[in-house]
Amino acid sequence: MLSRLKSRGNSPKGGTPHSGSFHRFCFCSGKEELRRKAMKVLVIGLGGVTNGGKTTLAEKLKKMLPNCDIISQDDFFKPESEVETDERGFKLYDVLDALYMDEMVKSIHNWMNSRTCSAVVTEEPQNTRESVKNTEDVYILIVEGFLLYNYEPLNELWNRRYFLTLPYEECKRRRSTRVYQPADTPGYFDGHVWPMYLKYKNELEENTSNVVYLDGTKPQEELLSCVYSDIIQELKKLREGSKLFYWKLDVLIEFKVNKKLITLYGNTARIVQIYI
């Protein structure tokens, strides 16, 4: 690489290598590589009660936020044959063992790695507001599901966590309007779904902080506005941190490039200094 760059920078009169070209190449290439590594990702958890409105809220947020993707916990259910059945004949779907949680964590890590190694910006959403302009270096992942915060490997990934709640009667009413495969058997909601929700919610309240609880009975637009505004504040914090970090990178890279050039062309340091 060095010999090729030297030959491209040779003076027409056969003089010393043109160090200016080499300097610009090293500076831009090194800086862009480090900036790719410094790309910011925001991982949002949208958890809570069954039929609480998680999926609907996640899809609306995706339309409003830049560079946003969704991972749904429902995509990681084990097949029915691998889900345990209790003595009442209930399939135990509302427990962690009914899910491929390791695969879910791996999918989130893969998403994070693919975004931080890419400089490609996804298409700007139609409803993007002025407050989220210039966030091309921030990628957002919304993870939605009913058991997000009771699995320790996931808890180190969240930037923000939201938890939708519903009272018993409203949750049961909404659940009765949905069709599941396999279908809910008589007594399934009272015998398994609701008790498991209360169990995991109690664990969450006892062991976890920094969770924003949302009342799922409120209008969707009100919930959307609340969560959207909160995410925007988080984006602003990341943007400010990125600006400071990029400035430090610029200074650091320029110093290192200058030092490397002088080392490589020690006998022509004066010429190098003219170009830097």
- Active-site residues, by number, are 74
For residue 37, the SS3 value is: helix
| Tokens 């010429």 sit on residue | 271
Nearest to 216 by CA among 43, 73, 55: 55
Q: How far is CA 86 from the centre of its chain?
A: 36
Tokens of 74: 């429902």
Give bridge partners of residue 70 from the DSSP assignment: 142
- Pinpoint the alpha helices (H) of the chain: 2-8, 19-37, 54-64, 101-116, 152-155, 168-176, 188, 194-207, 220-264, 269-275
What amino acid occupies position 150?
N
Peptide bond into 66 cis (omega under 30): no
